[in-house]
Structure 1
Amino acid sequence: MPKSDPEIAPGAFKLYDAYAHGALSRRDFLDGLKAYAIGGLTVSVLAAALMPDYANAQQTAAGDPRLLEEDMLYASPNGAGEMSGYLVRPAGAETPRGGVLVIHENRGLNPHIRDVARRAALAGYVAFAPDALHPLGGYPGADDEGRTLQRQRDGREMLQDFIAAAHVLRDHPACTGQVAAVGFCYGGAVANQLAVRLDWLAGSVPFYGGWPEPENAEAVNVPLQIHLAALDDRVNAGWPVWRDALDAAGAPYEVFMYEGAQHGFHNDTTARFDPQQAELAWSRTLAFFEQVLNA
C-alpha cells in the first residue's frame, strides 16, 4: 500500500495534474507548491507525497508463482514497426482465456501498469501491456523522462501500435480471441479510440481519458464502461459532448462518476489514490470483463 501522506490542498493536486500532463515544468511545479507548504509542511515533503511511489505500492510482485510473465516483441507495421509488451497470464491454465489489453498513461510502461496487468491475469485473463516507448529504448525508469520521451512520439503512430497489440493479443494461442481494453489517462483516451476503430473488440474500459471527435460515435458498437473522477475538471469538460454523441448514435455505454475523487484515483502509487473508489471501480471493471469476455 502507498505511504502515509500529509493533508494535501486541492490546489496542490491541480498543480501536480498540470505537471504530470506537461503543462508545467518541474521547476514551475515545485515553485507552485510553495503556496501550499505551510504549517511545517515543506515543498520536498509535499512533492514526495504527490509523486509516484512504485516501490511501496505494488499489489502483486513480479515473479509471483501464480503467473506466467514475459516481455515479448511484436510487429506494428503501421506504427513503429517493432514494439514490445508485457504478457502475463495465469500459471497452469489449460484452456485459452479472454484477453485484456492494458494501456498505460503518458509515461510508458511503468511499474504500476505492469502491476495492473498482473491484477488482470490473477482475475483469470491473458493480459498484454504494450510499451509505447519501446522505439525510444523503453520505459526509462523515471516518469519525468518517460513523459519527455512519449511526447517525442507521433500520436497517430502510437495509436497504431496499440491497435496492432490488440490484434496480437487476439491471435495469441493463450487467448480465446475475445479481447477487451482498459486504459488510464492517455490510455483511457486510447481505449476510447479503440472502441471507435475496432468493431470486433469485446469491450473497452476508459479511466478518465480524453474523448474522440463526436462524429466518431456512429462507429462505436463496442460496449463501453467509462470511469470518471468528479474533481477531474480537465477531462470531464469534454464528457458532455461525447455523451450526447454516444446517445444520438445509440452506442452501448455505462458511465460511473466517483464523487470526491481526483484524476488518477485508481493509481495507488500517488496521493490521488482513493482506496474505496479504486476498489469499486476495479470491481466494476472485472464484472464488465466477466460479462463481455466470458459470456
Structure 2
Amino acid sequence: MHTSLGGGPAYVSEPVGEPRGAVILIHEIWGLVPHVEDVADRLAAHGYLVVAPDLLSEAGITPQAGAELFALRDDPDEARRLAAQPRLREAFGMSRDPEYAAFAVQRLRAVLDEVVQRDERVAVVGFCFGGTYAWALAASDDRLRAAVPFYGGAPDDAGIARIACPVLAFYGDRDERLMAELPRVRAAAAASGLAFEALVMAGAGHAFFNDTGSAYVPEAAAQAWDATLALLGEALG
C-alpha cells in the first residue's frame, strides 16, 4: 500500500502472518516505479515487512517521471535516446548534490526510526542509486542487521569502517566503474574487520536485476536473489 512514512511517501508491503523481520528497500535512480513495488511484494511473500521510501519525488523525479525517463533511456531508437540525454542529465542533477545526499540519509534514518518501532530486526536492500544509499545508511546507523547493495557506490574508507552489520554486495563483471572500485572496497572492509562479501556476476553489467530493462540478466538476477534471501534469513532470523 502507498502511505506516508518517515516524513515522506512510501510503499509498504506486508507479509501474511507475523513478519520474519523488516527490510528497507531503496529504489533505483528512476524512483519508486512499479518494478520496485514488485520487488517489495516478492520480499513480503517470503515473510518480511518491506518499506520502500520514495526518495526522489522531492527532487523532481516522481514515479511517473522516472518511468518516462527509463523508457527514453531504453528506447530502441538511437536518435530518441541521444535526444533524451540532456533531459536525463537535468533530471538527475539534483540527486548528485551533497545537500540532497544529506537529506536522503536523514530521510532513511527517519524511516528506520519508524520501522524499528514495529520490528527491531531490520536490513536494507538497494539497487544502483539505492545500492549507494544502502551503503550510506549502513555507514550512518548501527541498528541495521544486514545491508545488501546491488551495484551501488561504496562510501570512503572511513565510512566503511563505521559499518557494524554484514554487507553482501553484488556487481556485474561488465560494470567497469564499480569493478574498478571493488579492490579498494575489499581492502577497506578487510582493514576494518567488516563482514563483507562481494558477488561478481559473470556476463552482467549495471542494473542486471531489473527485469523491466534491457540490462536484465535472468541467471545473474536469480543467483543474486537467492543469495539475498539467504543472508536475510540468517541476519534477521
TM-score, normalised with respect to structure 1: 0.68
Q: How many Å separate the matches in 2 of 1:167 and 1:151?
A: 28
User: For structure 2, which runs of at least 5 residues remain unmatched after alignment?
Assistant: 71-87
Tell me the distance in 2 between the aligned counterparts of 1:284 and 1:177.
22
The structure 2 residue matched to 1:216, chosen from 152, 155, 159, is: 159
Residue aligning to 2:4: 73
Provide the residue aligned with 1:14 in structure 2: none
- Cα deviation 1:61-89 (Å, max 9, x = unaligned): xxxxxxxxx211124xxxxxx31100001
In structure 1, the residue matched to 2:63 is: 139
With 278-287 and 131-140 compared, the bigger mean Cα shift is at 131-140
Name the structure 2 match of 1:158: 104
- Tell me if structure 1 keeps the 8 A contact 2:19–2:47: no
Aligned residue in 2 for 1:18: none
SS at match of 1:269: coil
| Larger CA Rg, structure 1 vs 2 | 1
Does structure 1 retain, via aligned residues, the 8 Å contact 2:30–2:61? no
- Gaps in structure 1 of 5+ consecutive residues: 1-69, 76-81
Number of matched pairs: 214
Determine if contact 2:132/2:153 at 8 Å carries over to the other structure: yes
Cα distance change on mapping 1:227 and 1:109 into 2, 3 Å: same
Q: Which has the higher contact order (CA 8 A, sep 6+)?
A: 2
Q: Aligned partners of 1:158, 1:291: CA distance in 2, in Å?
A: 28
Q: Residue type of the partner of 1:237?
A: A
Structure 1 segment 136-215 matched on structure 2, within 5 A: 136=60, 138-145=62-69, 148-153=90-95, 154-172=100-118, 176-215=119-158
CA drift of 1:137 comes to 7.8
Please give the residue correspondences for 1:39-118 in structure 2 after superposition, counting only pairs within 5 Å.
70-75=1-6, 82-91=7-16, 93=17, 95-118=18-41
Contact 1:107–1:149 (CA under 8 A) maintained in structure 2: no
2:165 counterpart letter in structure 1: V
Contact 2:148/2:167 (8 A) holds in 1: yes
Whole-angstrom CA distance in 1 between matches of 2:13 and 2:91: 25
Instruction: Measure, in 1, the Cα distance between the counterparts of 2:207 and 2:3.
Output: 28
Contact 2:13–2:50 (Cα < 8 Å) also in 1 = yes
Moved over 6 A (4+): none
Q: Which moved more, 1:118-127 or 1:141-150?
A: 141-150
